[in-house]
Amino acid sequence: MHEVSPTHLRDYVKALGWTFVEEATGDGLFLFNHPSEEFVQLKFPTAADAPDYRESLDIVFNKLAEFSARPISAISEAIEQINSDKIRFRLFKPSGILETVSISDSSQMLDGIRRMLLSSACSLKNKRSHHPRLRGTLAQDFLNACQLGHTEKGSFIWKVSCPLDAVTDDGDTSQNTLFSLRPNPYTRKVTSLLHSGLSGLQRALLNDSLETFVENAPQQGVTSNLCEGLLSLLDEKTKNSLEIISDWSPRVKYEGSLQKLRFEYDYASRIEDIQKALTPNATEETNDFVGTVEKLEGETNDEGNREGFVVLNLLIQESGETVKARGYLDAKSHAIAIRAYEKEGSYISVKGRLKPGRQPRQLVSPSGFCIVDRARTEK
């Protein structure tokens, strides 16, 4: 609490509707009157190094906690993040809390969060069922401005802070300052579209009305990309469920629902069905891919050679993104995969049909497996 900025505290109290008494600043004080209760005021020094600043904060925080029925810790965090919308992705299991995630899983989950944020940003400009490229100047500027916060007590939480002043709709960041926030800034458009789209998806899952939902999903900002990102947070190994909590900055009023969104692990297969339905022409095309070998799962056959499944990290040329894929290799291709796996920096090329769905996606009928820099000798 001692690190709370006086100006951040001023902005927070103003956003709550307290009446600001400007004349008091001449005396080095920020003074507020309660919006409805007579003779109830908040006052604290305008400078953090004032002798009585800490003592004043104790009084102010206790009053705020009393009138808002919120714990002081929650108020302190809200003040520190006054200029940002916050989205929490909480992983949990019905049997108890989930305290840790593996490093490899965390990489996939962070990529999933990135896809969800970019999908909503791209859907602001173009309502469609699938974004071939999750790109765009505004969308990328927004993503670059987002920050990852520390996890909290209890179950593992990914906490993303989205600054309200990240970008403006016309891309002119020089004029978008905290002194002139627009009534509905770009960041709030993205975070509210993400929340409302996920809210609609949750209702469809609960009401078993997926066919109707898919027809209107793009208009609600729900895309195959968003579903893929959501699936990345419902891990197959841990079988965890997910809770998404949006905390809106009080500096910009939010008119929508404030409820937490909950996605049980049992929803994963239905979300995958929605993702497939929203992905155009995703199952029949055969493409060439370049990537790396991430995991070997083969076993020794009767001839003493290894064959079987491998997990690859493949580059999607159309979108410029990478996805994890799993395919079955014969003994000859598996031997090449082993060499690529053991040699650092090796890239492979493979042809196959990459099916939609959660990662690792299924690579059907892989062929032409080779190490890129030795294609002529090892194909």
Choose one of 27, 62, 80: the last residue of a domain. Answer: 80
- Rounded to an integer, the average pLDDT of 148-152 is 79
Q: Is 261 in the same domain as 306?
A: no
3-class state of residue 300 by DSSP = strand
Model confidence at 332: pLDDT above 70: yes
Q: What residues make up the domain containing 231?
A: 84-278
Predicted local confidence at residue 181, as pLDDT: 61
Residues 65 and 157 grouped into a single domain? no
pLDDT digits (tens, 9 = 90+) for 113-128: 999 999 999 999 899 9
Cβ(225)–Cβ(115) under 8 Å?
yes
Distance CA 357, CA 355 (A): 7
Query: What distance in Å separates the CA atoms of residue 30 and residue 353, rounded to the nearest whole number?
Result: 64
DSSP-derived secondary structure letter, 311? E
Q: Are residues 125 and 145 in the same domain?
A: yes
**Are residues 45 and 110 part of one domain?**
no
Residues 224 and 90 in one domain: yes
pLDDT beyond 60 at 262: yes
Domain annotation covers residue 293: yes
CATH for 355? 2.40.50
Say what the pLDDT of residue 153 is.
74
Q: What is the pLDDT of residues 167-200, one digit of tens each?
A: 876 544 444 454 556 678 999 999 999 999 999 9
Indicate the range of 24-33, 66-75, 149-158, 304-313 predicted with least confidence: 149-158
As a whole number of angstroms, the distance between CA 120 and CA 193 comes to 6
Number of domains in the chain: 3
Give the full edge-to-edge strand order of the sheet including 41-45: 19-21, 29-33, 41-45
- The tens digit of pLDDT for each residue in 42-88 reads 999 999 999 999 999 999 999 999 988 888 988 888 888 888 999 99
Note whether residue 1 is domain-resident.
Answer: no
- Please say if the pLDDT value at position 39 is more than 70: yes
**The pTM of the whole model exceeds 0.75:** no
Considering the chain, what percentage of its residues have pLDDT values greater than 70? 92
Does residue 175 share a domain with residue 73?
no
